[in-house]
Amino acid sequence: MKRSYLLIFLILLIGIIFIGRLFQLQIIDGSNYNPTKNSAVKIVYDYPERGHVFDRNGKLIVANQLSYDVMVTPKDVEPLDTLEFCSFLKIDTEDFKRRFAKAEKYARWLPSVFLKQLSKEDFAFLQEKLHKYKGFYIQKRIIRNYPEKSAANVVGYISEVNEYTARNSDDYEQGELIGSWGVEKQYEKILRGIKGKKHLKRNNLNKIIGSFKNGLYDTTALAGKDLTLTIDSDLQKYGELLMAGKRGGIVAIEPSSGEILALITAPSYDPNLMVGRKRKKQSSILFNDSINKPMIDRGLQASYAPGSPFKMINGLIGLQENVVDENFHVFCKNGYRYGRRKNAFMGCHCGIHGRPIKLKTAIAKSCNTYFATTYRKIIDKYETSAEGMDAWANHAKSFGLGDFLGYDLPSGQKGRIPDGKYYSDNYDFRWGATTTISNSIGQGEVETTPIQLANVTAAIANRGYFYTPHIVKKIDGENIDNENYTVPKKTTIDSQHFTPVVEAMYEVFKTGTGKYCQVKGIEICGKTGTVENFIRIDGKKTQLDDHSIFMAFAPRENPQIALAIFVENGGYGSTIAAPITSLMIEKYLNGKISKATKYRETKMFNTSLQKIYNKQIQKPDSLASGTK
């Protein structure tokens, strides 16, 4: 009797343990169950439509189009006629082996892309044949299309997820698409959306027999959100046309908001080259072009000596530090001597000799002597040169120089604003203002990017503050809500000091170096720059053609656009950079180019510097020293 009770007890105990374990597996641990590890489950992805991208005026600049990929799940593949299958796919057997080995290495039980982006004709043909080849199927996918064929550096591109990313991410599988540059990369999470998943159950013959667990693990695809950029597509394309045959960058900003109106790099390319089955070949050509470097965004990544436009900064610092005022003057004797050595002389081409030069005239005529004198006064005001350099650098950095600006694009350069520590670390001798005198005219160790100089221009246009430049205006129709872009940043310069500088920049167009680039009915304020350009060839400092630089904003009151332009080896600032700037201002403010300035447009369209570039191999951030 006791034995029978014991047997019943043991049976009940085993049953309770079994039921408890079953409850734990199915109910408690169900949420942690990973159906991708179940060989009886086939996963089919539903890829959502990626968010569209529009310019500030609602013009579609990034669209979607349907594509078809051949997918493979290696463990489902049965013996097949490889030659016949390869002929259908238009690949050879070696290519087949390589692709299949890659898929097996990734995961035998998970699907991955075997052959991407079939043509519509190939899709229609394969659709009838593919049932013979177990483990292979066609997956619809959304890929990109760029109808405006411009702004490649802005919109960026998408590319296949590589093996490393796939293995280290729960969100991506190998062969899927991901934003790899520009807006596509920066706003990937917003544009991508969320892919859907369907889990299908197989029987022991590997045939689909229905939904796995009644769709418990299935998810619905969620489309990506649309973006509205700050870019004016028409202005962007116009600037790219003006920069054809040239190298450099243009950045245009709306001063009242920090919105980037145009971000131009030259040379550029059609972003559609980065789409389709030939993308790998095309991207290889673009990335390996070591002469033209089209994949470098010169508006953000190229760091140049700013030249004479930097004189605005030094003039403002001099006023703020109270070492000069509007009536302070110098006499220019064809340059500025800053030491006893024969070469301790900075030449000047202002053309004003024998009469006093004040701030406004110094800016309008670009007098090196005036700004070298002012710079020296700033540094020498302090007990030590290092303290003077620190004070000077702090003022310059308040304009957004010497560091990343904080804009919403994934590339850039800090530029350089040297301080006392920089020189103490680099010089093993006692140094002073005369050692660093080239900073007074935007040379020496000073470097800025076009977007930084455009931001300086916006700060001057606003009389002392700026908004962080940014490229996205709206997300799904809602204005961006980011204090980094909506709260103004104040410079260290009091607002009253900007008045004489703005008046002087207006004089540049009235009587100075920009007078031949006036636009009727528009009051433009600007400053030309011509930077002598050197590189080292076999250790020897070699002079190349000058860089052409210009900064400007318009109108003078309530400015709507601020620009900076660098044209590599473009010569005098008034030769190429200034005409292009005035044309872009006229195009943006008036919507067209007048007959009176049409000749200027034609000239810029037809101006090519390719012969100069063919003679040299240079970096976009070439060593520059000296100014005109």
Q: What is the pLDDT of residues 579-614, one digit of tens each?
A: 999 999 999 999 999 998 999 999 999 999 888 888
Note the pLDDT of residue 389: 94
Residue 35: per-residue pLDDT: 62
* Tokens, residue 600: 């200027």
pLDDT in tens, 187-212: 999 999 988 888 888 777 667 777 77
Alpha helices in 359-414 (DSSP H): 359-365, 368-380, 385-397
Average predicted confidence (pLDDT) for the chain: 87
For residue 78 the two structure tokens come to 């049965």
Among 230-244, 279-293, 409-423, name the one with the lowest average pLDDT.
279-293
H or E element: which one contains 182? helix 182-186
What average pLDDT does this structure show over 2-18? 70
The amino acid at 54:
F
pLDDT at 156: 94
Q: What is the mean pLDDT of residues 395-414?
A: 93
pLDDT of residue 617: 59
CA-CA distance, 500 to 510, in Å (whole number)?
15
Q: Is the pLDDT of residue 615 over 80?
A: no
Q: What is the pLDDT of residue 628?
A: 38
What is the amino acid identity at position 419? D
Q: What is the mean pLDDT of residues 355-361?
A: 92
What is the reported pLDDT for 623? 38
Nearest partner of 449 among 493, 402, 392, judged by Cα: 402
Chain centroid to CA 362: how far? 35
Q: What is the mean pLDDT of residues 285-314?
A: 91
- Rounded to whole angstroms, the Cα distance separating 313 from 475 reads 36
Please tell me which of 77-81, 131-135, 355-359, 469-473 the model is most confident about, judged by mean pLDDT: 469-473
Of 296, 359, 372, 366, give the one whose Cα is nearest residue 566: 296
**Residue 574 binned pLDDT confidence (cut-offs 50, 70, 90):** confident
Model confidence band, residue 78 (pLDDT cutoffs 50, 70, 90): confident
Angle at CA 308, nearest 5°, toward 592 and 324? 120
Please, which residues have CB within 8 angstroms of residue 133's CB and are 6 or more apart in sequence? 77, 80, 85
| Distance between CA atoms of residues 568 and 115, nearest Å | 42
The encoded tokens of residue 551 equal 């900064």
Contact 616, 247 (CB under 8 A): no
Interatomic CA distance for residues 352 and 510, integer angstroms? 17
Q: Kindly report the number of other CB atoms within 10 A of residue 618's CB atom.
A: 20
More confident residue, 170 or 228: 228
Greater confidence, 20 or 272? 272
Confidence band of 316 (pLDDT split at 50, 70, 90):
very high
Of 615 and 263, the one with more pLDDT: 263
Considering the chain, what percentage of its residues have pLDDT values greater than 90? Answer: 50
User: For residues 626 and 628, what is the distance between their CA atoms, to the nearest angstrom?
Assistant: 7
Q: In which band, very low, low, confident or very high, does the pLDDT at 1 lie, cut at 50, 70 and 90?
A: low
Would the pLDDT of 26 be above 60?
no
pLDDT band, residue 402 (cuts 50/70/90) = very high
The bridge status of strand 53-54 relative to strand 227-229 is parallel
Which range in 204-218, 325-339, 483-497, 537-551 is most confidently predicted, on average pLDDT?
483-497
Tell whether omega for the bond before 410 is within 30 degrees of 0, i.e. cis: no
Residue 415 pLDDT greater than 90, yes or no? yes
Confidence at residue 604, expressed as pLDDT on a 0 to 100 scale: 94
- Domains in the chain, CATH or no CATH each: 41-229 (3.90.1310.10), 233-285+295-627 (3.40.710.10)
Q: How confident is the model at residue 619 (pLDDT cuts 50, 70, 90)?
A: very low
Of 296, 233, 244, 274, the closest CA to residue 588 belongs to: 233
Q: How large is the average pLDDT for residues 501-525?
A: 89
Do residues 375 and 404 lie in contact, with contact meaning Cβ atoms separated by under 8 Å?
Answer: no
From the CA atom positions of the chain, what is the Rg in Å?
Answer: 32
The DSSP letter of residue 175 is T
Place 618 in a pLDDT band, splitting at 50, 70 and 90.
very low
Mean local confidence (pLDDT), 428-445: 87
At 125, list the tokens. 């043909």
pLDDT tens track for 97-116: 899 998 888 888 888 888 88
CA distances 410 to 187, 297, 330, 413, Å, are: 10, 11, 45, 11
Q: Specify the length of the chain in residues.
A: 628
Task: State the average pLDDT over residues 478-482.
Answer: 89
**Higher-pLDDT residue of 30, 150:** 150
Average pLDDT over residues 72-83: 86
| pLDDT of 621 above 60 | no
User: What SS3 class is residue 500?
Assistant: helix
